Amino acid sequence: MPRDEGLALYAAAVEAAGLGLPLLEIGSYCGRSTLLLADAARAAGTVCVTVDHHRGSEEQQPGQEYADPELADPDHPGRMDTLPFLRRTLASAGLEEHVVAVVGASPVAARAFGGNGGGRFGLVFVDGGHTEEHAQADYASWVPSLAPGGLLAIHDVFPDPADGGQAPYRVWTRALASGAFAEVARQRSLRVLRRVALGH
Ligand SMILES: C[S@@+](CC[C@H](N)C(=O)[O-])C[C@H]1O[C@@H](n2cnc3c(N)ncnc32)[C@H](O)[C@@H]1O
């Protein structure tokens, strides 16, 4: 995530944390964006919940565009494991105690931890799998749990297919078409929307 997008995400997290509710991230990876949400949560006396199976997205697998050999799981050839990197990132920043790391597939975690409604989160940041299936499942699984007035942030929104995959873009259009959200900020491929009505 480039610096300007990170700053926009941080601003959204600081505002959302003012609701006093946990902030949710889908897609921890090695913790770069988690740090931003965690610091905002720390300042507001709440926590960041970050969800990832830590096996990488399709485009991060060995041989794919965003593969990183350093993230290979030493015990399971051909698989990656970003969990140790997330832990190190949070520990180095002194933010471990402000983060609840959930290791598992996003829709499964949502079912287990009470996604699908309830208004538990002040912010939902969607940055997990970028296939249509995963991005839409993340939206359907977690966005019902975004509190009234809370913020929905979506990363990698590219209106022009020449710039990137379309799944996050379609999640963004879905949110706007629902009538439950109004856009409040955009920075490069980051979009921030406020929940202005129930629904999703
Ligand atoms: C683009 S990276 C997240 C980047 C991170 N937010 C940052 O800015 O540093 C996407 C992450 O989503 C995770 N992921 C992909 N599909 C998932 C799923 N269905 N459930 C849980 N995590 C998933 C991958 O393991 C990967 O770590």
Domains annotated on the chain, with CATH: 3-195 (3.40.50.150)
- Span from the CA of 56 to the centroid of ligand 1 (angstroms): 6
Tell me, what's the pLDDT at 113? 79
Catalytic pick from 54, 130, 134, 155? 130
- Provide DSSP, 151-188: EEEE----SSTTTS-SHHHHHHHHHHHTTSEEEEEEET
pLDDT over 80 (residue 115):
no
- Section 124-147 average pLDDT: 97
Tell me, what's the pLDDT at 111? 87
Question: Which mutation among 29, 50, 59, 126 tests ligand 1's pocket best, with the greatest number of atoms within 8 A of CB?
Answer: 29
Q: Are 81 and 61 in contact (CB under 8 A)?
A: no
Tell me, what's the pLDDT at 125? 98
Least reliable range by pLDDT among 75-79, 95-99, 119-123, 142-146: 119-123
What is the distance in angstroms between the CA of the first residue and the CA of the last residue of the chain? 26
pLDDT classification of 50: cutoffs 50, 70, 90: very high
Tell me, what's the pLDDT at 118? 63
- pTM value is 0.97
- Section 42-66 average pLDDT: 96
User: pLDDT tens, 2-25?
Assistant: 999 999 999 999 999 999 999 999
- Section 93-103 average pLDDT: 98
Q: Which two tokens stand for residue 93?
A: 């920043």
Active site annotation includes 200: no
Tell me, what's the pLDDT at 188? 98
Mean pLDDT of the chain, nearest integer: 96
Tell me, what's the pLDDT at 199? 87
Residue given tokens 């409040």 in the structure block:
184
pLDDT classification of 129: cutoffs 50, 70, 90: very high
**In the chain, where does DSSP find H-type helix?**
3-17, 32-44, 83-93, 106-112, 132-142, 167-177
pLDDT over 90 (residue 117):
no
Rounded to an integer, what distance in angstroms lies between the CA atom of residue 23 and that of residue 46? 8
Residue nearest (by alpha carbon) to ligand 1 atom 15: 129
